[in-house]
Amino acid sequence: MIHVALIGGSGYTGSELLRLLLGHPDVKVTAVTSERFSGTPVSDTFLQFRNTGLTFESLNLQDLTARADLFFLCLPHKTSQKIVADLHKAGKKVIDLSADYRLNSSKIYESWYKTPHLFSALLRKAVYGLPEINRDMIKKAFIIANPGCYPTSAILGLAPVMGRDYVDTDSIIVDSKSGTSGAGRNPAQPFMFCEVNESVRAYGISVHRHTPEIEQELSTLSKNKVRIIFTPHLIPMDRGILSTIYVRLKERMKLSEIQEHFREYYKKEPFVRVLKNGDYPLTKAVKGTNFCDISVFLDNRSGKGYSLIVVSAIDNLIKGASGSAVQNMNIMYGLEETAGLMTSSPTP
Amino acid sequence: MIHVALIGGSGYTGSELLRLLLGHPDVKVTAVTSERFSGTPVSDTFLQFRNTGLTFESLNLQDLTARADLFFLCLPHKTSQKIVADLHKAGKKVIDLSADYRLNSSKIYESWYKTPHLFSALLRKAVYGLPEINRDMIKKAFIIANPGCYPTSAILGLAPVMGRDYVDTDSIIVDSKSGTSGAGRNPAQPFMFCEVNESVRAYGISVHRHTPEIEQELSTLSKNKVRIIFTPHLIPMDRGILSTIYVRLKERMKLSEIQEHFREYYKKEPFVRVLKNGDYPLTKAVKGTNFCDISVFLDNRSGKGYSLIVVSAIDNLIKGASGSAVQNMNIMYGLEETAGLMTSSPTP
Amino acid sequence: MIHVALIGGSGYTGSELLRLLLGHPDVKVTAVTSERFSGTPVSDTFLQFRNTGLTFESLNLQDLTARADLFFLCLPHKTSQKIVADLHKAGKKVIDLSADYRLNSSKIYESWYKTPHLFSALLRKAVYGLPEINRDMIKKAFIIANPGCYPTSAILGLAPVMGRDYVDTDSIIVDSKSGTSGAGRNPAQPFMFCEVNESVRAYGISVHRHTPEIEQELSTLSKNKVRIIFTPHLIPMDRGILSTIYVRLKERMKLSEIQEHFREYYKKEPFVRVLKNGDYPLTKAVKGTNFCDISVFLDNRSGKGYSLIVVSAIDNLIKGASGSAVQNMNIMYGLEETAGLMTSSPTP
Amino acid sequence: MIHVALIGGSGYTGSELLRLLLGHPDVKVTAVTSERFSGTPVSDTFLQFRNTGLTFESLNLQDLTARADLFFLCLPHKTSQKIVADLHKAGKKVIDLSADYRLNSSKIYESWYKTPHLFSALLRKAVYGLPEINRDMIKKAFIIANPGCYPTSAILGLAPVMGRDYVDTDSIIVDSKSGTSGAGRNPAQPFMFCEVNESVRAYGISVHRHTPEIEQELSTLSKNKVRIIFTPHLIPMDRGILSTIYVRLKERMKLSEIQEHFREYYKKEPFVRVLKNGDYPLTKAVKGTNFCDISVFLDNRSGKGYSLIVVSAIDNLIKGASGSAVQNMNIMYGLEETAGLMTSSPTP
C-alpha cells in the first residue's frame, strides 16, 4: 500500500484525483488538505466522498511527511515551488500537477509566469511526466512535473512525427478547444453559466502559458528547436479537449503510411487509441477516461503548404491531469500502469 | 412594397428568413412553400408566426410567379438548380440560399457536389452575394448566390489582407467552430441532443463543400490562386460560427498597422465590427444579429512562419444565411442596407 | 419622446431593458447608471450598445431628475426603497424592477426580506405592474412595482380561475423551472458553468421570496386568502421559466370548458397565447419575446383530488422583467401597449 | 462466473448495461444482440468497447440459450413479451428492462400500452425489481421486471411514508425533470440538439405510461389504492431525473421526525443517500452512479393542505435502468449487492 497525501483537494483536479486514488487497489489516502475548507468533511464539498471519513486539513508539512510517502500537489502555479522543494528535501516523492516544475529553464519559466523560480537546481531533477514519451525517466523520478492538459493533447498528437525529416517543425499550429472545467472551481465572471453557455471564444492567443511546455517537449523529441502557434478556445461543455493540429510537410507523403506509423508508435500504449482511417475523435468518447484518441488526416489538395492534420481528444481532468498523475504513480512504483485507470466512458 | 415568396420555409434558415422578412418595413410575404407541410398553417410548425395567417403551400411556379417579384430559395443543394433557372426565365429576381450558384465553374461544382450543373450559362450571371466584397455587382444582379455560413466568416476575416504582398496565400488555414443549427432541422443520429451535447468534434477535413467557395472568392480578391485548409467543428450550442484563421506572413508586420488596415477596410460597413486590440469575438455577442465581429492578432514569437491570426464570429443563421439574404435584397432594391436587420443581440 | 433614465444598468435585466428601450420608437434614454462601471462606455460591458454613445454614470439623483421623466430601477432588493421614495417626492414616475414595492404590507415585506420597509405609506401608492390583471391601475400609477419573474408565470397561469367556485385555493402548487440568468450576473460558485451544466436542482423550498407576492395577487383576484406551495428549480439554460401549476378542483369540470374560459379571459391580451388543446408550452418558443404561453390540462383519473394542471412559459428577462416594464411604461403613457415589444422569437 | 447475454445492445440503456457487466467481477458476457447492427463489432457503435472483441449478433434464441444463463432484455416495450416467455420456458433467468412485465394486471397493461398482453400468467411470476422494496422476492425470482426510470425516483422518494396514517394517498403529485437520454438513441425531431437545448417542456400529462407502475407499487406499499398525478419534463442535459414530490399530510408533523424516519428506513441501503436537513439533491451528484439521493422538506406555512415535499435524484440510465438491473442480478445470484456498481461520480 502506497501512503499518499493530496495537497490541495478542493478543486476539480483535486476531487478527480481523490476519486481515482480512492478506487486504486494499491493506494491509501492518508491526508487531503485545503486551506479554505480545513476542518470540514471532504463530503461537505463533494458528496461522492461521503463514506470515506476524510476531512480537509490545513497544510502542515512536518506532520504530513510522517504520514505519507508520495505527495500529489494540486495547487495553483507559483505556490507549488517551495512545497515541492521541502518535500523533496524530506525524502518524499512528489507528483506536482502545477506548472512549477515543467519547464527546464528557470529563465523561460520567469518570462511566462512573471515570477522567479527559486529552485532552479530542482528543475533539472524534475521529470516531465508524460508516460508515452518519458516512461523510463518517470520510473526513477522523485519529482514528477505532471503535464498541462493542452500540452498532453498536443504532444501526444505530434510525438510520432517529431524528428521525421518530412516535417516542417517551424510552422506547427495547435488549435485547441477545451471544456470549462479547465478554468477551475473558483467563481469568476467569464466562467459563469450564462457567459459560457451558447458561446465559443478564443483566448490567450500567443500568450498562453502552455506554449513553452509544448515547445520544450517537442523540441526534445525532434532534436531541434520547435516553435508552435497555440490557440486555446473555451467551449460550452464541462470536460474535454479537442486539439486540431496542422503540420506542414516538406514532401508529399501517403496518409496510410503516416497512419501506420502512428499505430506502430503507440501500439504498446494502453491509453492512446489511434482511430481508423476517416474516423473522428469525439471528446465525449474519452470523457471520464484516461484515453487519448487520435486520428490522422492529410490535406492533399495543395501542391505545397501544410498538410498533415492530426486531431486528438482527451478528458482534460483525467488524461490531462489526474489520470495522468495516477499513471505516473503506477510507473514510479512498478505497478501495473493501468491500475485504477481502466474506467470506460459512459454513453452518452 | 416588394412582393416576395419564400420557397422552402420549414427549416431553420427558412424560419429565420421569414421572421426577418415579416419584420421588414418594405416587404410583403405573399407565399411560403413546403412540400412536407403543405396545407398546414406555418404557425403549426413555428409558433412565432401565429398571427401571420400564413399557410405552407406546395411549390407551383406558374402560380407563384404571378404573386411575387423576388424569390428566396431555402432548398437543399442540387434541387435549386432548375427552380432558379425557371424563375430567371420568368423574369423574376432570385436569392438562392443553396450552394447551386455559388461556384463560377460547373466543373468545380460537379467535382464537389457529385452532380452535373445543368445551367452553367447561368452560373456566370449569378453574383456571389457577400455585400462587403461584391456590393456593386449585387445592385444589378438578377440571381444572387447567397454565401455559405462558413465562407462568410472566413472571407470577411481575410478580405482586408487579400492581395497584400506580405500575405502568403498558399498556406491559409481556417479552423471553424459551428453551432448545431447549421446541420438543419431534419432528424439524424449525429445531431441528436445526447450526441452533440458535452462533446466537440471535427468533421469533413479537406472534403467540406464550403472549401471551393472560400477559395474562389479569396482568389478573386487576391488576384491569384488561393488554396486553403478548412476544418469545420461541431460545437454544443444552437448558433454561431467562430473561425480562427491562420495566415503566414512573408515579412514582419506591426499588429497595429494591420488592425488599422482592417478598420479602414470595414469603416463604412454597417455589419462588420473590428474589435479593439486584445478583445476576443464571442459568438454570443453576435447571436441573433447580422454582425460579423473580427479581431486581429499577431504571433510575433517565431522568426518566420504563420503569424497573422484573425478571429471572426457570426450568427450562422443570420449573417451566415438569412440576414445576409435580406441585406442582399436591400441592396438589389436600393433600400437602406440595414432595413429590417438592426436587431441587437440579447444578453445573455 | 419620453425621457427615461435607467438606474442600475450593468446586470442582465438592465441590459435587456436598455436594449428594449433603445429600440422603442417613443423613448429617449438620457442616462444609464452603474456604480461599478461608472465612467466607462456601456459598450465595454455589453458590445451590442456599441454605437449608442452611452456611458455608465454614477447615481446622482439631483442631476438625473433634471434629465428624465421616467425612471427604471434595476437595483438589488432593499436598495430601491429610498431611491423610489426620493424620485417620487421629486415628482417623477418610477418603474421599480426590484421587489421593494411589490408587497402591500410592510410587515410581510419585513418577514420575508429581513429588513424593515421605511416607506410603508408609499407601498399603498405603488401598483403591482402585471398589466393583464392591473391595467387600469397602471394607467394612473406613479410607482410601478414590476412583478417578479416567477410570479408573472404563476399569476398569469392562475388568474383566469381565481374566484371560481370550483377551485380549491388552499392547495395550489407551483413547480417552476428557471434558466440561470435569473440568478444575475455577479460571480458566485453555484452559478458557475460547471456547477449548473448537466444538472437540475430545486432550491428555496417554502422560503423563496416570490411566494408572498404570488399569494397576495392571487388572494386579491380570488377575494379570499390563497396559500400556495412554490418550488423553484434551476435548469441548465440561459433563459426561460416554465411553471407547472397544480390546482385541486372541488367538482368535476370539462377540460374544454376551462380552456374556453382561458381563451376568453385572455382574448384581448396581446402577450398571452393560450395554446391549442394538447399542445405544450416550450420556453424556447417564448425566448426573446414578451409572450406568455399557457396550456391547460386536466387530470381526470382520480375521483377527487387535484386535477387542473396549467403549464405556463415566459422569458424570465422579458415578460418576467424588462419586457413587462416596457409594457407598463406603454400603458402609463398611453402608447400602443405593444410598442417596442413585438419581437418574435428566433428558431432555434 | 455468470454467463449473461444482452438482448438489444445498441441503445443507451444497452450500452450502459454492457459497460457495467464488463466491469463486473462475476460476469462473463457471452452475447450481445442487435438486429440493426448485426455482424458489426460493438466498438463500431460504441468506441469504449474497443478491446472486448464483442460483435453484435442477430437474435437467435435457440443458439443463445445454450450460451447464457441470465438474459438482460433492452428491447422496446411490446417486443419483450414473447422473448421473455420463450426464455422462461427454456429455463433461463431474465431481467427485462422493458415495461412488459411490470404491471400485474394485463388489463391495466392493455389500457396503457394499447396492445394485449399474451402471457398474463407470467405477469404473476414476474417480480418488480426495485431492490429497496422487493429484495426478498427478487432473491427467488426468475423473471425480473426492471423498474422504469421515473418510477424508481418516485417510489424511492415515497416508500418510507407509504402506509403511514398521516399521509393522504389520494393526492400525491410527482413532478419529474429528466435528461434527454431517456428518450433513447433513435433519431426523432423533438430530441434533436437544437430542439432540446435551451428549452424546458412538460409532456405526457396524465397519460405517461409510468403512471400505473408507480401507482401499483405505492398501492402495495400503502395497502390501499394510491392515485398520483405525474408530470414528466424534458431538460437540456444528457442524464438524470429529479423528482419533486408533493404529499398532503392529514396532520401536522415535525420535519425532523419524518427525516429521521427516512434515515431509518434506508439505513441499510447501499444506494440510497438521505441528505442532511436543508441540502438539495443535484442530478449531477448522482451522475454515473447507482445512487438515489433524497431530501425531505416540509411546507409549514399553510394550516392544511399538501405539505411534505420530497426531492429525489437518480441517474436515469444507472439507478433508473442498467445499474438497477445489475443490482437485481447481484441479489438473484447471492453476490455482494454492490458488486460492479460502486463507481463514484466525477466532479464536475
Grid cell locating D54: 464483442
The count of residues in chain A is: 348
Q: How far apart are the first and last CA of chain A?
A: 35
CB pair distance less than 8 Å for C297 and D206 = yes
The predicted pLDDT at position B304 comes to: 61
ipTM of the complex: 0.97
pLDDT, tens digit, for every residue of C265-321? 999 999 999 999 999 999 999 999 999 999 999 998 865 656 899 999 999 999 999
Q: What does the alpha-carbon distance between residue D326 and residue D23 come to, in Å, rounded to a whole number?
A: 11
Q: Which amino acid is at A154?
A: A
Is residue D212 within 8 Å of D156, Cβ to Cβ? no
The predicted pLDDT at position B17 comes to: 98
The predicted pLDDT at position A330 comes to: 98
A12 vs C contacts (CB less than 8 Å)? 194
Q: What does the alpha-carbon distance between residue D296 and residue D310 come to, in Å, rounded to a whole number?
A: 5
* Phi/psi-derived region of residue C53, left when phi > 0, alpha when psi is between -120 and 50, beta in every other case: left
Q: What does the alpha-carbon distance between residue C158 and residue C315 come to, in Å, rounded to a whole number?
A: 18
CB pair distance less than 8 Å for B180 and D187 = no
- CA neighbours closer than 13 Å in the CB half-sphere of residue C50: 17
User: What subunits touch chain B, counting only 3 or more CB pairs under 8 A?
Assistant: A, C, D
Choose the weakest-confidence range: A37-41, C162-166, C167-171, D225-229.
Answer: C167-171
Task: Report DSSP letters for D133-149, one per residue.
Answer: HHHHHHHH-SEEEPPPH
Q: What does the alpha-carbon distance between residue D67 and residue D175 come to, in Å, rounded to a whole number?
A: 43
Please state the rounded mean pLDDT for residues A13-39: 97
Pairing of strands A292-298, A306-314: antiparallel
Task: Report DSSP letters for C107-163, one per residue.
Answer: HHHHHHHSS--TTHHHHHH-EE--HHHHHHHHHH-SEEEPPPHHHHHHHHHHGGGTT
Grid cell locating D25: 467481477
Does A304 score more than 90 pLDDT?
Answer: no
The rounded average pLDDT for each run of 10 residues, N- to C-terminus, in chain D (348 residues) is 97 97 97 98 94 96 96 96 98 98 97 96 97 98 98 98 94 96 95 98 96 98 95 98 96 93 98 97 96 95 77 98 98 98 86
CB pair distance less than 8 Å for D175 and C280 = no
CB pair distance less than 8 Å for C273 and B50 = yes
DSSP state of B252: -
The predicted pLDDT at position A171 comes to: 83
The predicted pLDDT at position B57 comes to: 98
CB pair distance less than 8 Å for A281 and B201 = yes
**pLDDT grade, residue A303 (50/70/90)?**
low
φ/ψ (deg, to 5) at A218: -65, -35
Q: What does the alpha-carbon distance between residue C80 and residue B294 come to, in Å, rounded to a whole number?
A: 40
- Of A253, A151, A167, A247, the closest CA to residue B229 belongs to A247
The predicted pLDDT at position B303 comes to: 57
pLDDT, tens digit, for every residue of C96-112? 999 999 999 999 999 99
Give C81 to chain B, closest Cα distance, Å.
27
User: What subunits touch chain C, counting only 3 or more CB pairs under 8 A?
Assistant: A, B, D
Crossing angle of helices D323-332 and D131-140, rounded to 10°: 40
- Of B331, B319, B326, B344, the closest CA to residue B152 belongs to B319
**C199 vs D173, D233, D284: nearest CB:** D284
User: Does pTM surpass 0.90?
Assistant: yes
Give B122 to chain A, closest Cα distance, Å.
28
Q: Which contiguous run of DSSP H or E holds residue D247?
A: strand D241-248
CB pair distance less than 8 Å for D48 and A285 = yes
Is residue D30 within 8 Å of D92, Cβ to Cβ? no
A101-129 burial: b if 16+ Cβ within 10 Å, else e: bbbbebeebeebbeeebebeebbeebbbb
Which residue out of D193, D284, D287 would a mutagenesis test of the B interface target, given it has the greatest number of B Cβ atoms within 10 Å?
D193
C10-44 burial: b if 16+ Cβ within 10 Å, else e: bbbbbbbbbbbbbbbeebebbbbbbeebeeeebee
User: What subunits touch chain D, counting only 3 or more CB pairs under 8 A?
Assistant: A, B, C
Does C122 score more than 60 pLDDT?
Answer: yes
Q: What does the alpha-carbon distance between residue C307 and residue A149 come to, in Å, rounded to a whole number?
A: 54
Share of chain C above pLDDT 70, in %: 99
B306 vs A contacts (CB less than 8 Å)? 171, 173, 229
Q: What does the alpha-carbon distance between residue A224 and residue A2 come to, in Å, rounded to a whole number?
A: 39
Give Cα separations from D328 to D119, D148, D316, D321 (angstroms): 22, 14, 16, 11
Q: Write A269-277 long-range contacts (CB < 8 A, 24+).
A: A269/A132, A270/A337, A270/A338, A271/A131, A271/A132, A271/A319, A271/A327, A271/A338, A271/A341, A272/A132, A272/A156, A273/D47, A273/D50
- CA neighbours closer than 13 Å in the CB half-sphere of residue A117: 24
The predicted pLDDT at position A344 comes to: 74
pLDDT, tens digit, for every residue of D192-240? 999 999 999 999 999 999 999 999 999 999 999 999 999 999 999 999 9
Which residues have a Cβ under 8 Å from the Cβ of C319 and sit 6 or more positions away?
Answer: C152, C271, C286, C289, C290, C291, C292
Low-confidence ranges of chain B (pLDDT < 50): none
Is residue B120 within 8 Å of B137, Cβ to Cβ? no
Residue in C with minimal Cα distance to B283? C47
Q: What does the alpha-carbon distance between residue B272 and residue B266 come to, in Å, rounded to a whole number?
A: 6
C175 vs D contacts (CB less than 8 Å)? 175, 244, 246
Grid cell locating C14: 438592465
Give A170 to chain C, closest Cα distance, Å.
37
Q: Which residues of A are catalytic, by number?
A: 149
Give D33 to chain B, closest Cα distance, Å.
20
User: What subunits touch chain A, counting only 3 or more CB pairs under 8 A?
Assistant: B, C, D
Is residue D69 within 8 Å of D88, Cβ to Cβ? no
Q: What does the alpha-carbon distance between residue A47 and residue A270 come to, in Å, rounded to a whole number?
A: 31
Cis? peptide before D160, omega within 30° of 0 = no
CB pair distance less than 8 Å for D285 and A48 = yes
Which residues have a Cβ under 8 Å from the Cβ of D5 and sit 6 or more positions away?
Answer: D29, D30, D31, D32, D33, D64, D67, D68, D70, D71, D72
CB pair distance less than 8 Å for D305 and C227 = yes
- Sheet bearing B306-314, strands edge to edge: B201-202, B228-234, B172-178, B241-248, B306-314, B292-298, B272-274
Give A102 to chain C, closest Cα distance, Å.
27
Q: What does the alpha-carbon distance between residue A47 and residue D280 come to, in Å, rounded to a whole number?
A: 11
Pairing of strands C27-33, C2-7: parallel
To which residue does cell 438482460 refer? D72
Q: What does the alpha-carbon distance between residue B138 and residue B194 come to, in Å, rounded to a whole number?
A: 42
C173 vs D contacts (CB less than 8 Å)? 173, 246, 306
**B344 vs C48, C238, C293: nearest CB:** C48
**B347 vs C46, C344, C345: nearest CB:** C46
Q: Write A260-268 long-range contacts (CB < 8 A, 24+).
A: A261/A160, A261/A161, A262/A160, A262/A294, A262/A296, A265/A159, A265/A160, A266/A132, A266/A160, A266/A294
Give A174 to chain B, closest Cα distance, Å.
10
Mean pLDDT taken over chain A:
96
Query: Is D149 among the catalytic positions?
Result: yes
Give Cα separations from D184 to A82, A277, D13, D188, D191 (angstroms): 52, 29, 8, 10, 9
The predicted pLDDT at position D304 comes to: 61
Does A233 score more than 70 pLDDT?
Answer: yes
Spell out the domains of chain C, with CATH numbers in brackets.
2-125 (3.40.50.720), 150-316 (3.30.360.10)
CB pair distance less than 8 Å for B188 and D188 = no
CB pair distance less than 8 Å for B180 and D195 = no
CB pair distance less than 8 Å for B19 and C344 = yes
Q: What does the alpha-carbon distance between residue C309 and residue B235 come to, in Å, rounded to a whole number?
A: 37
C343 vs B contacts (CB less than 8 Å)? 343
C194 vs A contacts (CB less than 8 Å)? 12, 180-181, 185, 191, 238
Is residue C312 within 8 Å of C306, Cβ to Cβ? no
Provide the sign of the torsion angle of the four alpha carbons A124, A127, A130, A131, taken in this order: positive
Task: Report DSSP letters for A49-69, one per residue.
Answer: GTTS--BEE---HHHHHTT-S
Question: Per 3-state DSSP, what percentage of chain A is helix, strand, and coil (rounded to 5)?
Answer: 35, 20, 40
- How open is the CA angle A58-A64-A70, to the nearest 5 degrees? 120
CB pair distance less than 8 Å for B299 and A206 = yes
CB pair distance less than 8 Å for C16 and B347 = yes
Q: What does the alpha-carbon distance between residue D278 and residue C136 come to, in Å, rounded to a whole number?
A: 42
Q: What does the alpha-carbon distance between residue B259 and residue B276 come to, in Å, rounded to a whole number?
A: 9
> Which residues make beta-bridge pairs with B31?
B5
The predicted pLDDT at position D305 comes to: 59
CB pair distance less than 8 Å for D239 and A348 = yes
Residue B142: exposed, middle, or buried by beta-carbon count in 10 A (0-12, 13-18, 19+)?
Answer: middle
Q: What does the alpha-carbon distance between residue C73 and residue C92 come to, in Å, rounded to a whole number?
A: 12
Give B293 to chain D, closest Cα distance, Å.
23
Residue in B with minimal Cα distance to A296? B205
D14 vs B contacts (CB less than 8 Å)? none
**D192 vs B187, B198, B237: nearest CB:** B187
- Sheet bearing B127-128, strands edge to edge: B56-57, B27-33, B2-7, B70-73, B93-96, B143-145, B127-128
Query: A interface toward C at CB cutoff 8 Å?
Result: 12, 180-181, 185-189, 191-198, 236-238
The count of CB pairs under 8 A between chains A and C is 56
- CA neighbours closer than 13 Å in the CB half-sphere of residue C153: 35
Give B330 to chain C, closest Cα distance, Å.
20
To which residue does cell 404529499 refer? D247
Q: Which residues of C are catalytic, by number?
A: 149
The predicted pLDDT at position C303 comes to: 57
The count of residues in chain D is: 348
Q: What does the alpha-carbon distance between residue D110 and residue D93 come to, in Å, rounded to a whole number?
A: 25
Is residue C340 within 8 Å of B15, Cβ to Cβ? no
Which residue out of C170, C176, C194, C200 would a mutagenesis test of the D interface target, given it has the greatest number of D Cβ atoms within 10 Å?
C200
Q: What does the alpha-carbon distance between residue D181 and residue D314 come to, in Å, rounded to a whole number?
A: 13
